[in-house]
Amino acid sequence: MTKIALVCSSGGHLFQLFSLRDFWGKYDHFWVSFDTQDAQYLLADETVVWAHYPTNRNIKNLMRNIVLAGRVLRRERPDMIVSTGAGVSVPFFLLGRLMGIPTVYVESITRSEQLSMSARLNYFFAKKLLVQWPELAEKYAKAEFQGQII
């Protein structure tokens, strides 16, 4: 059975990825997010690995999350990594790419003119980069517009 790693920061990124449950809900899956109240609530009945935060401009937590990503990806062996961002996705996409695991990044619907920082960082590691505005897909060769999904 297909296993999906769902990797995202808490808050809006988590809500967006959680709202795609019609896609990921039919597969074996696990989450990587931050141990915050909203994540605890939304993911109460899910398998979750808590990542280290904050991630913005925090080299120590970036390194800790790289180690975490290596450990989790080796142990869980997902068939795919899906993320809506933000910083916590970068170590998982980097190591996922090195391990040959397909990665899918879903950009926020709020990004209509340029990619978010995490999308730009993951651009090189993502197998698929889904954007929700056709104008954005025209700007980036790897970006695909398949309609507004979130």
CB 114 within 8 A of CB 88: no
| pTM score, whole prediction | 0.95
Round the CA-based radius of gyration of the chain to a whole number and report it. 14
Question: From first to last of its 150 residues, what are the pLDDT tens digits of the chain?
Answer: 899 999 999 999 999 999 999 999 999 999 999 999 999 999 999 999 999 998 888 999 999 999 999 999 999 999 999 999 999 999 999 999 999 999 999 999 889 899 999 999 999 999 999 999 999 999 999 999 988 877
What residues contact residue 133 under an 8 Å CB cut-off, 6+ apart?
A: 109, 111, 112, 145, 148
User: Which token pair is 148?
Assistant: 């507004």
**What pLDDT shows up at residue 11?**
95
What are the structural domains of the chain? 3-145 (3.40.50.2000)
